[in-house]
Amino acid sequence: MQKMSSEPAAPCTRTTLHGPAMGTRWSAAVDARHTVNMAALRRDLAAAVEQVDEQMSPWKPNSDLMRLNRAPVDEWVDLPVETMVVLDCALDVQRLSAGAFDPCVGALVDAWGFGAVRDAPDADAIRAARQLTPGTAHRGLQLDRPAGRARKRAPLQLDLCGIAKGYAVDCMTTVLQQHGVRHALATVDGELRALGGQASGAPWAVALERPETGRRAVHGVIELADLAVATSGDYRRFLQVGDARLAHTMDPRKSAPVNNAVASVTVLARTCMQADAWATALLVAGADEGLAMAQRMGLDVLFLVRRAQGLVEVGLGRFGSSGDLSGAACRTN
């Protein structure tokens, strides 16, 4: 009979990898054994995020997204498979959200001073951007999925900032799995995805930021295992016009920045791309319409809404009051 080894398995060690990307930073907390080559892992994680940026950034003139933006109407443009995946998801969320999420808001983003073209609103540019028909994504953008190409059917300017960072996190998760990692937390800016839980068996604890301007404070803690989370809000980048706070997120149905009582929306999903896009859509939709939309879609969502008495939490799914917190939980301070 073969003798069984009594030596315990090698313990996992926590390593944090990070680097600059997409105008912000990426990071990964990795619980892994010594057999994982951390130098190679860091290189491949950085390359994965950089690839998404090179393909989908509206700030890089030579990105594939900008090639499509510059192309004449009705001219087919060959695109990488990754860009096609994100465009496909963007159009799907645009349809399901009744236009609350729309990747064709690039002209509005630039006109209001939130893009690469200018750093302040321009009245003439805003008027020109508003000439584009709201909700044009499905009518104005055509994807040829088998051929890996797209064409504009109208003079559109695409912007994927409401979904591309989430997709970059998903790409990081794929890289981690390819390196044999089973326990990790990947993030780009405020978009995160947990690969399993921690090696100890505990979930990953993620801070939910309190939506306050000028300071960073924790509103609560979200516990993740094999889930992604994304938050959209109005408190980091915005314009203050009188008493109105105009968020950097565009409402394509009004051709204007978001201006409602929602301070932030946090969404849980299996992929970070989905969480990112739906967080944007629900912020645009607002508290009432957004809650109805989230309920219809079966989303796990937490709204922080500004009311006269202060911030009010409204949650559905794992954030709701049903007590079903399998896979994720939120503890508020």
Q: What is the total residue count of the chain?
A: 333
CATH of the domain at 264: 3.10.520.10
User: Which is higher by pLDDT, 261 or 268?
Assistant: 268
Task: Name beta bridge partners: 152.
Answer: 141
User: Which is higher by pLDDT, 257 or 236?
Assistant: 257
| 217 and 114 part of one domain | no
Is 164's pLDDT higher than 60?
yes
Q: For all residues of the chain together, what is the average pLDDT?
A: 88
C-alpha pair distances (Å), 104 with each of 154, 231, 255, 324: 10, 21, 11, 37
- The per-residue pLDDT for range 171-227, each reduced to its tens digit, is 999 999 999 999 999 999 889 999 999 999 999 999 998 877 666 778 889 999 999
- Most distant CA atoms of the chain, gap in Å: 84
3-state secondary structure 287-330: HHHHHHHHHHHCCEEEEEEEECCEEEEEEEHHHCCCCCCCCEEE
| 234 and 306 part of one domain | yes
Residue 21 placed within a domain = no
CATH of the domain at 70: 1.10.3980.10
Residue 118 placed within a domain = yes
pTM attached to this predicted model: 0.89
| 79 and 143 part of one domain | yes
Angle at 232 between CA 20 and CA 264, to 5 degrees: 135
| 208 and 323 part of one domain | yes
Is 238's pLDDT higher than 50?
yes
Q: What's the total number of domains in the chain?
A: 2
pLDDT band (50, 70, 90) for residue 140: confident
Of 152, 170, 193, the one marking the end of a domain is: 152
| 230 and 326 part of one domain | yes
Q: What local confidence, expressed as pLDDT, does residue 240 receive?
A: 67
R_g over Cα of the chain: 21
The Cα–Cα gap between 330 and 191 comes to 16
Q: What local confidence, expressed as pLDDT, does residue 218 receive?
A: 82
Is 247's pLDDT higher than 80?
no
Q: Give the three-class secondary structure for 107.
A: helix
Task: Looking at 179-324, list the stretches that DSSP marks H as alpha helix, in order from N- to C-terminal side.
Answer: 272-285, 287-297
The Cα–Cα gap between 127 and 255 comes to 10
Of 152, 173, 194, the one marking the end of a domain is: 152
| 208 and 325 part of one domain | yes
The Cα–Cα gap between 323 and 253 comes to 36
- How far out from the chain centre does Cα 102 lie? 14
| Domain boundaries, position 100 | 59-152
Q: What local confidence, expressed as pLDDT, does residue 9 receive?
A: 53
pLDDT band (50, 70, 90) for residue 55: very high
Is 327's pLDDT higher than 90?
no
Is 305's pLDDT higher than 60?
yes
Residue 142 placed within a domain = yes
Is 231's pLDDT higher than 60?
yes
Is 163's pLDDT higher than 60?
yes
Tokens of residue 184, six digits: 């990790």
